[in-house]
Structure 1
Amino acid sequence: MPLGALRPSPLVEQAAEQLRAHITEGHWPVGTKLPGETTLAKTLNVGRSTVREALRALAGAGLVQPRQGAGVFVIATEAKENWPTRLRRAAVSDIYEVRMLIEVQAAQLAAERRTEADIAALDAALEGRRAASSGGDAAFVDADIALHTAVVAAAHNPVLTDLFGEFTPALREGLIDLLDLLGLRTEDPGPGDESHAELVDAVRRGDAAAAARASREELAMTLALLRRA
């Protein structure tokens, strides 16, 4: 596919797509040095800043690599999977293991950093989880995740918050499937209420060790169920 002038629409996306196609179709094999920004800009009929952003997107996809003073080189002909795609394909037990690493630390930090507003949010989330026990599995899982989200938020670390948010969609699907598969709410419509209450209480009291322990034990029980499912 020859390179050509672009249509007036999101130019960076169009430039990145044309350059990506040129790489994936083998016109620029691995090891090839790409034409310079000025040449690419003239060929695509865009500004150099557009080309620069398009090349940055391709670098993020693992297709090219800039080398200081040498230019931009092709390092792969297939883009690496992005993080959301990898999470969708991952086993929920693998995701849960990483979730434990995040949440146990978050619980400890939450106990050390929680504010009055955080405590109010945790209390509300715990009551919401209890109220959701009378609803369906999806509503209960949403309420459960909301409580854990409130704990992570109380840690006041935006990186932890963002990481947990990335895991949430895959966790939600896996937990709904788990409840259905094992019938965990057949006898107790609100499983884990005591352990979640202990977690909230430990954060409220500012007991970091107890909060981390409560989080670890509660998540470990669910992980054990996932491994047996």
Structure 2
Amino acid sequence: MALGALRPSPLVEQATEHLREQITSGVWGIGTKLPGETSLAKSLGVGRSTVREALRALAGAGLVQARQGAGVFVTATQPEQDWSTQLRQAAITDVYEVRMLVEVEAAQLAARRRTDDDLVTLNAVLAKRRDAANGTNAEFVEADTVLHAAVVAAAHNPVLTGLFTEFLPVLQRGLIDLVELLDLRSADPNHGDDGHARLVDAIARGDTEAAGGTLREELEQTLARLHAL
């Protein structure tokens, strides 16, 4: 089967894409043994090293698997999705449920571990959230998520911080839609200020139960609104 010669650069990326198309389009189904490196290199007009790198990339995407002494076989017709892609495509309710698990625990840890610098930051971002009440929905949501990020940071757990950072883009888009759809700020431009003030106060006092409970209450209310849509 002739695949068509490739342009000079970037060869590995082009080879990977051409081979991926053969798999995802069904030309090579699951269980099919791919042609050998020499045959593929000739069809694509590239060197065997380029083909080898392309096959390695396809293996990393979960599309093919090399079997020692037997060759390379197709194992899937759709590439595995990385964590960021899964988040972008996930329902906001699913993301919110995981967010609740992450943030409630983070708030409790923050109440135990927060430093004086953390408290300065938390009060500063709370003030910025209040200032953002005079801005657009996007500006308000951004200020809100910055405050929540500061709470997570005060837990001093890099894994929690990393997870929340991955959530942020999806959360911000979902929250902007939620605020606009439900018109949450028409009657109260600084929607949720009391709860956020109580959260910061609980962390400052080192009250783990109040910190976790306050945040859980806020997130459960939002999740209930999302499920009602």
Same fold (TM over 0.5): yes
Separation of aligned partners in 2, 1:120 and 1:177: 31
Q: Percent identity?
A: 65
Separation of aligned partners in 2, 1:133 and 1:217: 21
Cα pair distance change 1:30/1:148, threshold 3 Å:
same
Separation of aligned partners in 2, 1:66 and 1:204: 56
Separation of aligned partners in 2, 1:152 and 1:116: 15
Separation of aligned partners in 2, 1:92 and 1:153: 23
Matched, 1:162 2:152: no
Residues 110, 154 of structure 1: 8 Å contact kept: yes
Cα pair distance change 1:206/1:82, threshold 3 Å:
same
The residue correspondences of 1:75-90 to structure 2 (distance < 5 A) are: 75-90=75-90
Residues 36, 71 of structure 1: 8 Å contact kept: yes
The residue correspondences of 1:140-179 to structure 2 (distance < 5 A) are: 140-179=140-179
The residue correspondences of 1:50-199 to structure 2 (distance < 5 A) are: 50-67=50-67, 71-199=71-199
Separation of aligned partners in 1, 2:208 and 2:51: 50
Q: How many residues align?
A: 228
Long gaps (5+) in structure 2: none
Cα pair distance change 1:29/1:226, threshold 3 Å:
closer
Q: CA deviation at 1:188?
A: 1.5
Q: CA deviation at 1:52?
A: 4.9
Cα pair distance change 1:179/1:66, threshold 3 Å:
same
2:9 counterpart letter in structure 1 = S
Separation of aligned partners in 1, 2:160 and 2:198: 22
Long gaps (5+) in structure 1: none
Higher mean displacement: 129-138 or 155-164? 155-164
1:138 counterpart letter in structure 2 = A
Higher mean displacement: 12-21 or 141-150? 12-21
Residues 97, 223 of structure 1: 8 Å contact kept: yes
Separation of aligned partners in 2, 1:4 and 1:63: 21
**Which position in structure 2 is the counterpart of 1:29?**
29
Separation of aligned partners in 1, 2:92 and 2:23: 34
1:182 counterpart letter in structure 2 = L
Cα pair distance change 1:152/1:52, threshold 3 Å:
farther
Cα pair distance change 1:36/1:197, threshold 3 Å:
farther
Q: CA deviation at 1:196?
A: 1.1
TM-score w.r.t. the length of structure 1 is: 0.82
Output the aligned Cα RMSD.
Answer: 2.8
Q: CA deviation at 1:47?
A: 6.0
